């Protein structure tokens, strides 16, 4: 069972529902080898996207807490390359990597009662590290943050310098707040 589905509505349009966490590879149950539910796997998502990418209109409903940064960026970049009009709709939550995917819409819609959350790179470390290992990790995380800020700066129509403070800590926005920041185009029903 996939945490997303894609449906061809007619010759010109398609719809995607993304309701799960974004990952590079869907994890499997160690006991039986079956895929775990609730994950949007990058490879299979992009493979399925190939089937509908030439539609003139694609609507994407999102309800996701995010997940893997580079899986989210890959989906964002592929959706930005779609020739037709992409409409993203935040049905409940577009957080972390899902907030980047949300920005791929030519038209981005928020519900008044949905939330948008952005933050800089964070990670869990466990193991044995020396100073050089940690310095390399900081270098990588700074590069990751630059990629994130570039997406938001483009979406908000501001410079990189103006946008970089946006990912300090966590930023939570409701529908109208996201519109006011330039991270959504409209609030549904307003």
Instruction: Please pick, among 61, 64, 96, 99, the residue that the annotation labels catalytic.
Output: 96
Distance separating alpha carbons of residues 47 and 25, to the nearest angstrom: 13
Among this protein's residues, is 61 annotated catalytic? no
Distance separating alpha carbons of residues 166 and 106, to the nearest angstrom: 21
Q: What tokens were used for 151?
A: 């997406």
Residue from 42, 183, 187, 44 nearest 105 by CA? 183
Which single residue is written with the structure tokens 């590079």?
Answer: 24
Instruction: Please pick, among 61, 64, 114, 119, the residue that the annotation labels catalytic.
Output: 119
Q: What is the dihedral of CA 170, 70, 182, 166, to 10 degrees?
A: 30
- Give yes or no for a contact between 28 and 34, defined as CB atoms under 8 angstroms apart: yes
Among this protein's residues, is 96 annotated catalytic? yes
- Give yes or no for a contact between 45 and 67, defined as CB atoms under 8 angstroms apart: no
Structure letter (DSSP) for residue 36:
P
Structure letter (DSSP) for residue 138:
H
Distance separating alpha carbons of residues 101 and 12, to the nearest angstrom: 22
Catalytic residues: 96, 119
């Amino acid at each position: 069972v996939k945490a997303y589905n894609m449906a061809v509505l007619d010759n010109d349009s398609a719809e995607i529902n993304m309701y799960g966490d974004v990952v590079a590879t869907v994890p499997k149950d160690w006991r039986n080898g079956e895929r775990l539910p609730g994950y949007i796997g990058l490879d299979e998502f992009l493979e399925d996207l190939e089937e509908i990418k030439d539609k003139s209109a694609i609507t994407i409903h999102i309800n996701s807490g995010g997940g893997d940064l580079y899986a989210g960026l890959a989906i964002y970049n592929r959706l930005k390359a779609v020739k037709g009009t992409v409409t993203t709709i935040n049905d409940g939550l577009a957080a972390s990597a899902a907030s980047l995917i949300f920005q791929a819409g030519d038209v981005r819609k928020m519900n008044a009662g949905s939330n948008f959350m952005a933050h800089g790179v964070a990670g869990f470390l466990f193991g044995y590290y020396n100073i050089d290992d940690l310095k390399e990790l900081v270098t990588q995380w700074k590069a990751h943050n630059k990629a994130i800020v570039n997406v938001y700066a483009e979406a908000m129509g501001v410079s990189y310098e103006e946008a970089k403070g946006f990912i300090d800590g966590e930023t939570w926005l409701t529908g109208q707040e996201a519109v006011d920041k330039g991270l959504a185009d409209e609030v549904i029903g307003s």
